[in-house]
């Protein structure tokens, strides 16, 4: 298995090198060279897929002759978690990303197979040169087919924290988004004035936004369900890294949709920046240069990644210079949207890389607190909401704009007053933010009601924008959370905490045959108009590790979230909190995904 996989990767590397050479030498007088370039590129993709199936079968069949299988699987691991182990380690994630890039670009080259000769040649050349370095990195630095020199009878198994449905689908969705952005990069760098290429790029970017949103939100669901600290986003460096390509891809989505007939300079610049963002995100996850709960801490090829990042930057700048300047002016709201998103990206990068610039260490990372991100990203996000609120207001007929503005202000004021009355600890600044978000929601609805003839045609876009506002409302509510104090409860004891009454009904300790000890607390949580029974637990392993399993009940406006932090005899240390509008975060993200996906699947004219 090890030899077959390594030989397959080497053969794919040779084929991509041939594809680069054939496409470089191809010219209209020698069309066969371009045909050979396409065939060798597709053949490399088929071989990589075959190698991926080899690794998958090794995991499913418990082939412990491979070091990767030993590190991430075991005989006792269920088959679906063994399948998820394919992307549980650093070697597997890079391998999956490579396959997805090859698959996406192969589909794109098929979609533009009838375009002019020189354009087709450039796209195949750029695609080969983009994937060849990544395959070489996998082959020489991160080979999942590396053999285990000392045979073993069983593996270590999948990390217990990764045994969750959300973590099984989170990496593939995220890397699918990265692959779509890589495909957009290839198309944008083709130096084409073909409208079909511009339309195709816009569709791939929309698909990237949908899959990136899905990947980020499933990661947040996993954190909320597994980590047990009470939230879904902790501004961890690896979490932040996924926001970099997401912010840029949203800006690229708007510009590529606006310039659907040509590849303008902003589209080329944003496509290059988005692909560079995927490299930055992968590098931060793989290198471990910044302390993170999610990083792999493998710094063996940092230099290669930095060289690749520099090459992408230089190539993008060259292509920007070669792209003719647009004669028409950009709408002010579109330009402001792009700059808001760029500023948000820079703020995330500043906070994420601050430990490096400030001389932090693993023991003392010197990280910026969450308040930095909440203040900077929150303020810029509200600026973004104001910008596209004005954009939608401009789409309403002039004679009805004042009427729409008055309706918006009235409804927003009423909603904010009701929320202020119900939640007495909301501060004035966040109340202003809530007013802006509600106003944006109302304006988007009024703008679409104003153009009744095109309401179905614009429905996906409307869903995406409404989803963004709903998501922002949920995020804003999450920033309002007061600090939580833990309670020590005796079995049968009930304590009052704010509006909640928390009682410990039982505390059960179970010792399993494998040496693990499971501690389960049953809590009765009651408040006006609501009563829930929660069962948080802890699992202690024989090697001294413990895994916290929180329990929560979701509602339309709030979740009740409980964590068992410790226990002693008949006493339990518990933390119970009320998380506001968490379901709005999931619902808003779902609307963004649906809107982007439907716009991506619209049939275009690709000859």
Residue 61 DSSP code: T
Examine the pLDDT at 287 and tell me if it is beyond 80: no
> Does the pTM exceed 0.75?
yes
The H or E element that residue 412 is part of is helix 398-422
Burial class for 195, CB neighbours closer than 10 Å (0-12, 13-18, 19+):
middle
Q: Among the listed ranges 145-149, 211-215, 252-256, 514-518, which one has the minimum average pLDDT value?
A: 514-518
Residue pLDDT, tens place only, 385-402: 888 888 887 777 666 777
In this structure, what token pair is assigned to residue 347?
A: 């703020």
State the average pLDDT for the chain: 85
DSSP three-state, residue 477: helix
DSSP three-state, residue 509: strand
CB 2 within 8 A of CB 135: no
Examine the pLDDT at 278 and tell me if it is beyond 90: yes
At 270 the pLDDT is 94
In this structure, what token pair is assigned to residue 513?
A: 């045959």
- Name the pLDDT band for 185 (thresholds 50, 70, 90): very high
- What φ, ψ does residue 13 adopt, rounded to 5°? -65, -45
Give the Cα separation of 34 and 36 in Å (integer): 5
Examine the pLDDT at 607 and tell me if it is beyond 50: no
Q: Which residues of 508-545 are buried (b: 16+ CB within 10 A; e: fewer)?
A: eeeeeeeebeebbbbbebbbeeeebebbbbbbbeeeee
Average pLDDT over residues 193-202: 82
Examine the pLDDT at 564 and tell me if it is beyond 50: yes
Residue 54 DSSP code: H
At 231 the pLDDT is 86
Please state the three-class secondary structure of 121-189 as a single string: HHHHHHHHHHHHHHHHHHHHHCCCCCECCCCCCCCCCCCHHHCCHHHHHHHHHHHHHHHHHHHHHHHHC
Cα 33 to Cα 18, 55, 94, 363, 372: the distances in Å are 10, 33, 30, 56, 55
At 399 the pLDDT is 65
DSSP three-state, residue 607: coil
Examine the pLDDT at 343 and tell me if it is beyond 80: yes
Average pLDDT over residues 330-358: 88
- Name the pLDDT band for 334 (thresholds 50, 70, 90): confident
Examine the pLDDT at 262 and tell me if it is beyond 70: yes
Examine the pLDDT at 605 and tell me if it is beyond 50: no
At 606 the pLDDT is 40
Examine the pLDDT at 382 and tell me if it is beyond 80: yes
Residue pLDDT, tens place only, 123-146: 999 999 999 999 998 998 889 999
Q: Among the listed ranges 148-152, 471-475, 583-587, which one has the minimum average pLDDT value?
A: 148-152
Examine the pLDDT at 295 and tell me if it is beyond 60: no
- What φ, ψ does residue 89 adopt, rounded to 5°? -110, 170
Most confident of 58-67, 225-234, 341-350: 341-350
Average pLDDT over residues 561-577: 89
Residue pLDDT, tens place only, 496-527: 888 889 999 999 988 877 678 889 999 999 98
Q: Specify the residue for token string 């990069």.
A: 185
Instruction: Compute the half-sphere exposure of residue 326: CA atoms within 13 Å on the CB side of its CA.
Output: 17
At 305 the pLDDT is 82
Return all residues near 486 (Cβ < 8 A) that are at least 6 apart: 565, 573, 574, 575
Q: Is the dihedral of CA 312, 270, 190, 131 positive or negative?
A: positive
Percent of residues in the chain assigned helix, strand, coil, to nearest 5: 65, 10, 25
Closest CA to 393 of 407, 382, 383: 407
CB 472 within 8 A of CB 480: no
Average pLDDT over residues 521-534: 91
Rounded to 5°, the CA angle 590-223-478 comes to 70
Give the Cα separation of 187 and 201 in Å (integer): 6
Examine the pLDDT at 453 and tell me if it is beyond 60: no
**Crossing angle between the packed helical segments 370-395 and 459-478, to the nearest 10 degrees:** 150
Examine the pLDDT at 368 and tell me if it is beyond 90: no
Closest CA to 256 of 235, 242, 241, 273: 273
Give the Cα separation of 174 and 160 in Å (integer): 21
Higher pLDDT, 428 or 451: 428
* Number of Cβ atoms within 10 Å of the Cβ of 57: 11
- Name the pLDDT band for 380 (thresholds 50, 70, 90): very high
Strand order in the sheet with 551-553: 487-490, 571-580, 558-568, 551-553
Examine the pLDDT at 366 and tell me if it is beyond 70: no
Bin 273: left if φ > 0, else alpha if -120 < ψ < 50, else beta. alpha
- What φ, ψ does residue 482 adopt, rounded to 5°? -75, 160
* Number of Cβ atoms within 10 Å of the Cβ of 78: 10
Output the DSSP codes for 316-345: HHHHHHHSPPPSSPPPHHHHHHHHHHHHHH
At 401 the pLDDT is 73
Give the Cα separation of 99 and 444 in Å (integer): 39
Give the Cα separation of 535 and 522 in Å (integer): 5
Examine the pLDDT at 335 and tell me if it is beyond 60: yes
Instruction: Compute the half-sphere exposure of residue 154: CA atoms within 13 Å on the CB side of its CA.
Output: 7
Give the Cα separation of 110 and 244 in Å (integer): 29
Q: Specify the residue for token string 């610039």.
A: 357
At 13 the pLDDT is 94
Give the Cα separation of 411 and 382 in Å (integer): 18
Average pLDDT over residues 333-349: 92
Higher pLDDT, 532 or 110: 532
Average pLDDT over residues 600-604: 70
Please state the three-class secondary structure of 276-300 as a single string: HHHHHHHHHHHHCCCCCCCCCCCCC
DSSP three-state, residue 63: coil
**Crossing angle between the packed helical segments 332-357 and 237-258, to the nearest 10 degrees:** 160
Give the Cα separation of 123 and 16 in Å (integer): 13
Q: Are strands 517-527 and 500-511 parallel, antiparallel or unpaired?
A: antiparallel
Residue 87 DSSP code: G
């Amino acid at each position: 298995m090890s030899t077959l996989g390594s030989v397959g990767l080497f053969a794919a590397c040779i084929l991509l090198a041939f594809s680069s050479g054939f496409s470089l030498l191809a010219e209209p007088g020698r069309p066969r060279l371009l045909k050979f370039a396409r065939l060798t590129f597709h053949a490399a993709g088929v071989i990589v897929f075959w190698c991926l199936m080899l690794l998958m079968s090794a995991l499913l069949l418990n082939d412990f002759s491979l070091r990767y299988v030993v590190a991430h699987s075991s005989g006792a691991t269920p088959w679906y978690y063994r399948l998820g182990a394919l992307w549980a380690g650093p070697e597997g994630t890079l391998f999956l990303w490579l396959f997805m890039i090859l698959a996406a670009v192969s589909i794109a080259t098929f979609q533009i197979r009838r375009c002019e000769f020189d354009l087709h040649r450039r796209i195949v050349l750029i695609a080969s040169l983009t994937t060849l370095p990544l395959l070489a990195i996998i082959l020489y630095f991160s080979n999942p087919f590396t053999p285990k020199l000392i045979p073993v009878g069983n593996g270590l198994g999948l990390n217990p924290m990764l045994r969750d449905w959300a973590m099984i689908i989170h990496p593939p969705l995220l890397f699918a988004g990265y692959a779509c952005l890589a495909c957009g990069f290839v198309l944008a760098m083709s130096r084409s004035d073909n409208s079909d290429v511009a339309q195709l790029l816009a569709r791939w970017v929309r698909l990237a936004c949908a899959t990136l949103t899905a990947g980020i939100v499933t990661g947040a669901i996993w954190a909320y369900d597994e980590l047990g600290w009470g939230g879904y986003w902790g501004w961890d460096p690896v979490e932040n890294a996924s926001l970099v390509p997401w912010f840029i891809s949203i800006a690229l989505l708007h510009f590529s949709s606006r310039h659907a007939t040509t590849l303008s300079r902003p589209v080329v610049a944003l496509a290059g920046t988005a692909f560079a963002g995927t490299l930055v995100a992968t590098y931060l996850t793989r290198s471990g240069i910044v302390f993170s709960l999610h990083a792999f801490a493998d710094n063996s090829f940092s230099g290669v990644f930095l060289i690749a990042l520099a090459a992408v930057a230089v190539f993008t700048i060259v292509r920007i210079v070669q792209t003719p300047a647009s004669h028409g002016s950009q709408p002010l709201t579109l330009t402001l949207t792009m700059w808001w998103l760029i500023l948000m990206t820079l703020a995330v990068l500043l906070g994420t890389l601050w430990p490096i610039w400030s001389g932090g260490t693993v023991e003392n990372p010197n990280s910026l607190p969450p308040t930095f991100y909440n203040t900077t990203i929150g303020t810029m996000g509200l600026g973004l909401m104001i910008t596209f609120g004005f954009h939608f207001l401009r789409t309403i007929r002039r004679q009805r704009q004042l009427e729409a503005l008055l309706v918006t202000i009235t409804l927003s004021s009423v909603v904010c007053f009701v929320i202020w009355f119900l939640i007495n600890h909301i501060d004035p600044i966040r109340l202003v933010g809530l007013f802006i978000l509600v106003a944006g929601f109302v304006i988007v609805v009024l703008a679409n009601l104003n153009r009744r003839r095109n309401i179905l045609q614009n429905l996906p876009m409307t869903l995406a924008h409404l989803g963004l506002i709903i998501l922002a409302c949920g995020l804003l509510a999450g920033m309002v959370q007061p600090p939580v104090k833990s309670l020590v409860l005796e079995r049968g004891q009930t304590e009052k905490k704010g509006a909640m009454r928390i009682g410990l009904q039982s505390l059960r300790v179970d010792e399993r045959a494998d040496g693990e000890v499971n501690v389960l607390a049953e809590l009765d949580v009651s408040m006006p108009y609501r009563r829930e029974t929660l069962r948080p637990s802890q699992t202690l392993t024989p090697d001294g590790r413990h895994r916290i399993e929180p329990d929560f009940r979701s509602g339309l406006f709030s979740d009740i979230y409980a964590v068992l932090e410790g226990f002693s005899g008949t006493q339990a240390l518990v933390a119970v909190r009320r998380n506001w509008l968490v379901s709005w975060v999931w619902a808003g993200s779902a609307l963004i995904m649906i809107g982007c996906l439907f716009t991506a699947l619209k049939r275009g004219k690709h000859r």
